[in-house]
Chains A and B, each alone.
Chain A
Amino acid sequence: KQEVTQIPAALSVPEGENLVLNCSFTDSAIYNLQWFRQDPGKGLTSLLLIQSSQREQTSGRLNASLDKSSGRSTLYIAASQPGDSATYLCAVPGAGSYQLTFGKGTKLSVIP
């Protein structure tokens, strides 16, 4: 059974800092890995999707890496801004490939 763990559970940084969020998964036989952003009281916004054949994806100030063999992914956020404050979720497809298995998330606070 796939399990996804995200560390740390919460993170507070001053504006402008670069930061790394971590995600680990137990079953390395995955098709892809996604990073989502969840704002309080709102839905999920897909940030990056990395295919299993890729090692990283970039979108603006975000860079996600994937190491299937070690069961790890990182989300790097450069030059953090207060608007980046949100909960970041990592998810991988599980059984049937369409069932996303989520971590509990990392709650990020960027202090102005």
Chain B
Amino acid sequence: NAGVMQNPRHLVRRRGQEARLRCSPMKGHSHVYWYRQLPEEGLKFMVYLQKENIIDESGMPKERFSAEFPKEGPSILRIQQVVRGDSAAYFCASSPLAGGSQETQYFGPGTRLLVL
């Protein structure tokens, strides 16, 4: 049973380009969470999705960032017109049920985004 998979593991973009980060949850998991870890900072919640639905995007910047989790395929975190401040590690997590009192979230290895 493969764990949470993220790709690419490392991504380099120039300012103004688009970044697409992919996350495949663990088999049987229908809940996906994205977190961002800025240098020297703790992980910060960005968005929570279930299949085809965004449940909570309160931690995601209103502009340039979007997320989706289609019926088929991985979850995608998309960053348009990247800026240097977007350089960070982006982690995806999944759970079989809604995370909370009983469920742990299983984390992927992360995508390290570097904006030049």
Binding site for B on A (CB under 8 A): 4, 31-32, 34, 36, 41-46, 49, 51-52, 89, 91, 93-105
A31 CA / B40 CA spacing, docked (Å): 27
Contact between A96 and B42, CB atoms less than 8 A apart: no
Q: In the complex, are the beta carbons of B100 and A98 less than 8 A apart?
A: yes
Partner of A89, one of B43, B44, B101: B43
Using C-beta atoms within 8 Å of the partner chain, give the interface range for chain B: 20 to 34
Q: List B residues 77-116 near A (Cβ within 8 Å).
A: 91, 93, 95, 98-102, 104-110, 112
Q: B65 an interface residue at 8 Å Cβ cutoff? A: no
CA–CA, A4 and B41, complex, Å: 12
- The one of A4, A43, A97, A102 that contacts B99, using a Cβ cutoff of 8 Å: A97
B42 in contact with A43 (CB, 8 Å): no
Among B44, B100, B109, the residue within 8 A (CB) of A31 is: B100
Q: Which of B9-49 contact A (CB under 8 A)?
A: 31, 33, 35, 40-45, 48
